[in-house]
Structure 1
Amino acid sequence: MNTLWTDFVNSEWHDWRGSGRSEDRLLKPEWQNDFLIQWQFSAPVPASAEDIEEMQILRRELRSFAEHLTSGGQMTSDLVDTINRKMIEGGPVTRLLKQQDEHFNIVLEPVANGWKKVLAEVVADFAQAFVNSGGSRIRICDNTDCRWVFYDDTRNRSKRFCDDKMCGNLMKVRRFRERKKQ
């Protein structure tokens, strides 16, 4: 199951087959556009250099959080502060607006638009995944060539690979061939 935050974190692609190739999809306007369409956001494409730098930093932080949680670490106050700061940067603000007919409405408006708003939503999705599972369902693929981050939605929380048909089968074949050699 792909989620907003895992789709964002996995924009740093590594060839899961082991060729050593990798690419930063955040730099590609096509990926940016597809990401915005898939998750129903609006932001300028291509993203500015400042936005890309901010996205890369957030991606590193989220991956680091995921690695920390999968290795048995606990959510620290520093992690909470970072998450809250990012959500505040693009989160909604309540405002009183006067309508043309002299009536007033209370509305929620985003503090920021564009990529700041997108990043706030990515962090909020990560926070929701953490709250829902206490971090126990946040995983990193056991295929060392892949290392994609994913949310384990299995009932018994035993999922080891981002995709059983790709990474799972590849690792089974590698283990089988290793046993055959011996």
Structure 2
Amino acid sequence: MLWDDYINSYWRDWRTGDRSLDRDRLDDPQWLAEWLEQHQLPAAAPAKPEELQQLKQLRRLLWEEVQRLVQGAAPDQSLLEQLNSYMAAGPVIRQIIRNPDKPPELTLLPQRSDWGQIMAEISASFTEAVLEKELSRIRICDNPDCLWVYYDDTRNRSKRYCDDKLCGNLMKVRRFRARRKAGE
């Protein structure tokens, strides 16, 4: 999803917890251009310093709200008002797209190609998740060195890590070593 990929643009060293290795990938023009292309978002990269500051402010706002939601809080009304402001900066046109292999579908076509439009799309993605999906499935990775945000789409809603093969295995090894050390 767009919103969680965006929040996760702040990369933490999930293996060692060395905070000096953390990277804000929004500061990397190449990463940002690839991310925009991956999500089919039209904007002129690189972002200007004031636009970059606004992007980081939105990310911080969403990260703080995710932390509240994970604790079981209801969506914050002032946040919803702020999201409305962000979304107002990104006008869209609704259009039916016909594909010969699929039934017609309604799509939203962004009308601008600037950073305001990008922040509107991110805000809309987050708003859709908060209003239409199960809030209890919004999670933060249990690896305290990772803290990636994800949406738990497993059937039994028991996913604890952003990636079972990476963070999940790392935490299993850490628990095993802690038990082994305690038994010595």
TM-score when scaled to structure 2?
0.85
Aligned to 2:66: 66
Aligned to 2:89: 89
Q: Which amino acid aligns with 2:86?
A: K
Report the alpha carbon displacement of residue 131 of structure 1 after superposing the two structures with TM. Answer: 2.2
Q: Distance in 2 between the 1:85 and 1:111 partners?
A: 16
What 5-or-longer segments of structure 2 have no aligned partner?
A: 95-107
Deviation per residue, 1:141-181 (Å, 9 max, x gap):
01000001111111121111100000000001000110111
Aligned to 1:151: 151
Contact 1:89 / 1:111 at 8 angstroms: preserved in 2? no
Contact 1:143 / 1:161 at 8 angstroms: preserved in 2? yes
Report the alpha carbon displacement of residue 91 of structure 1 after superposing the two structures with TM. Answer: 2.8
Q: Distance in 2 between the 1:28 and 1:52 partners?
A: 11
Q: Distance in 2 between the 1:156 and 1:125 partners?
A: 24
Q: Which amino acid aligns with 2:173?
A: V
Aligned to 1:172: 172
Aligned to 2:25: 25
Q: Distance in 2 between the 1:75 and 1:91 partners?
A: 24
Contact 2:65 / 2:76 at 8 angstroms: preserved in 1? no
Q: Assess, with a 3 A threshold, how the Cα gap between structure 1 residues 85 and 111 changes in structure 2: closer, same or farther.
A: farther
Deviation per residue, 1:58-87 (Å, 9 max, x gap):
000010110010011111211211111111
What 5-or-longer segments of structure 1 have no aligned partner?
A: 95-107
- Aligned: 1:122 with 2:122: yes
Deviation per residue, 1:71-129 (Å, 9 max, x gap):
111112112111111111113379xxxxxxxxxxxxx8756431111111111111111
Q: Distance in 1 between the 2:153 and 2:14 partners?
A: 21
| Equivalences, count | 167
TM-score when scaled to structure 1?
0.86
Q: Distance in 2 between the 1:164 and 1:53 partners?
A: 33
Q: Percent identity?
A: 47
User: Aligned to 2:150, what secondary structure does the other structure show?
Assistant: strand
User: Aligned to 2:131, what secondary structure does the other structure show?
Assistant: helix
Q: Assess, with a 3 A threshold, how the Cα gap between structure 1 residues 109 and 37 changes in structure 2: closer, same or farther.
A: closer
User: Aligned to 1:139, what secondary structure does the other structure show?
Assistant: strand
Aligned to 1:113: 113
Contact 2:89 / 2:120 at 8 angstroms: preserved in 1? yes
